[in-house]
Structure 1
Amino acid sequence: MAAPLSCADLMAEAQAEYAALPLKTRAGNTAHLRNLLMLPSEALKSARVLLEAFEKNQAALLELEPKLRELLLLVADDSKAMGAEMKTWPLGMFLRVVNLWQEATRVPKAPDWDS
């Protein structure tokens, strides 16, 4: 009989594979912008709705900032530090950080399995 798998080991592997993007705030705090796959299911659903809204409303720039702010607060492990940091951000900074977060936490493609 095989030895049982360790949930702690599997969680550590998942956290390494679907790593967060660490972001150091100007106040010296570090917020980790978590990969979508590591969010609880309700937060994942909310994040997907927000991401879909961005894709549909790219031309509505004034509506983007509050949605980007909400998304970053949702994925940040330290929403208080992240909220304080974002108070003076221009739209370009929001877009830059969201793009970096998406690149850093992109889910790798599943390998092709030959049948």
Structure 2
Amino acid sequence: MEKLITADGADLCTETFGDPADVPVLLIGNTMLTWPDALCERLAALRRFVVRYDLRGTGRSPAGDPEAPSYTLRDLVADAAALLDALGLPRAHVVGAAGVGTSMELPLTNICRCRRSG
């Protein structure tokens, strides 16, 4: 189900798959289209609560002035952490593609928010 969620002062177009009681997985890419529906549905079938979203200023997440974006990588990382808060998720597995800077920085600055596998 797709919806706009306000996180860290930004409206983020977000879609979730699966049961919120399952293990959360936050998929970070430039847009939700980075993550195919079939992948998200498969993860949900494996008892994962999948969250994908359009980064600030991409896809259906507005950015303000597209000619002069006024946000930084730190803002994108804060958006990801705030999105977890808005969804009531204290921690999640974080997977990154395309928006890899955000997915790499989130565990560095919010280590308690990220689950570890292995």
* More helix per residue: 1
Which TM-score applies when normalising by structure 1?
Answer: 0.31
TM-score by length of 2: 0.30
Q: Which has a greater percent of strand?
A: 2
Larger radius of gyration: 1
